[in-house]
Structure 1
Amino acid sequence: MLRHPAHFIALGFGSGLAPFAPGTFGTLVAIPIAALLRAYASDVGFVAAIVLLFAVGTWAADVAGRDLGVPDHGGIVIDEIVAFLIVLYFVGGDPLHQAFAFLLFRVFDIAKPPPIRQVDAALKNGIGVMVDDLLAAGYTLFVFALVVRLVGNA
């Protein structure tokens, strides 16, 4: 499954092959990637990496989905990685903030509140795989900002 470059990327560099909760394992992959980007890239470099990974991830998810016969196969986790990288860019490097954002993101990614579920159902290709997680990232950042505003920057 990992022999084709698109499969390797779409399956989150292997994390999507986890025997349970592959989306959770895929989301966790974003944390060391964000740490490396934060340490070695400027903000522009971090954002450029996200944009590039989104484009490559869209292609990879499309190819892997076609090859697997399921457009949004559970093992395709590049969407979680890219979306959570966006969250981590805005949340910063604080481990408690990252842990809270991780929990929020997983809740929104799994629950798929409107319009996430509708986008997920309507777009059965690489872009659909990626966009529903971008929406989950948006919900995550909104709730995170609201909690920080109400509780303070603990």
Structure 2
Amino acid sequence: MAVLPVGTRRKLMKHPLGWIAAGFGAGFSPKAPGTVGSLAALLPWWFLMKDLPLPAYLAVLAAGFGIGVWASHWVITRTGIEDPSLVVWDEYIGMWITLLMAPAGWPWMVVAFVLFRLFDIAKPWPVSWADEKVHGGFGAMLDDAIAGVYALLALQLIAFFLPR
């Protein structure tokens, strides 16, 4: 991930798509912006999404993914950088996919966070394939969405097999 000069960041933040792509500021983190973006994604999930009915939750995910493709493409086009570190909206969507149908309680949110970061960083196939072969805004979003699906499956397996 490439780090953008401060002047470029300021220009991007003058447009709503820049704010969305940067996860409303989480992408400004000087260290580990992906991790900060994943943490920031927990706030809207906890306060706005966790109790949504499944169809509404899926609609938010679909709309969020589409907006993320648009916003990421906008930033990539303006910077000429394929995966700028400022873009963390993909982490939001990946976390929200991971948390789909998560068991209730903040400990599960912590487990979901750890699982998503693990799959996002390790990039098992096809996450690595999407990261390397799919470009533009769609590519920026796709690898994290796939990592989110892996983390979702792992979370559900843990919840199923964990003794109560």
Superposed pair shares fold, TM > 0.5 = yes
Runs of 4+ in 1 over 4 A off after TM superposition: none
Q: C-alpha displacement at 1:42, in angstroms?
A: 3.6
TM-superposed CA distance for 1:41, in Å, is 4.4
Task: Give me the identity figure in percent.
Answer: 33
Deviations 1:79-135 (A, max 9, x none): 010121122222144110110110010011011111111111111111111110111
1:137 matched to 2:148: yes
The match for 1:68 is 79
Mapped contact 2:99–2:152 kept (Cα < 8 A): no
Aligned-pair distance for 1:35?
2.0
Could you tell me which runs of 5 or more consecutive residues in structure 1 were left unpaired when the two chains were aligned.
Answer: none
- Unaligned stretches of 5+ in structure 2? 1-11
Candidates 31, 45, 54, aligned match of 2:42: 31
Please list the CA deviations of residues 31-56 of structure 1 after superposition, one character each: whole Å capped at 9, or x if unmatched: 12112324774433222222111111
Q: Distance in 1 between matches of 2:48 and 2:54?
A: 9
- Summarize the Cα distance change of 1:124–1:38 in structure 2 as closer, same or farther, 3 Å threshold: closer
- Displacement of 1:146 in angstroms is 2.1
Find the aligned partners of 1:29 and 1:92 in 2 and give their Cα distance.
20
Question: Over aligned residues, Cα RMSD in angstroms?
Answer: 1.7
Amino acid paired to 2:13:
L
Give the structure 1 partner of residue 125 of structure 2.
Answer: 114
Contact 2:103 2:159 in 1 (8 A): no
- Aligned 8 A contact 1:31 1:88 in 2: no
* Aligned residues between the structures: 153
Aligned position for 2:110: 99
User: Is the CA contact (8 Å cut-off) linking 2:38 and 2:91 kept in structure 1?
Assistant: yes
Partner deviation per Cα, 1:12-45 (whole Å, 9 max, x = no partner) = 1110010101001111122121123247744332
Larger mean CA deviation between 42-51 and 18-27 belongs to: 42-51
Query: Secondary structure at the residue paired with 2:160?
Result: helix
More helix per residue: 1 or 2? 1
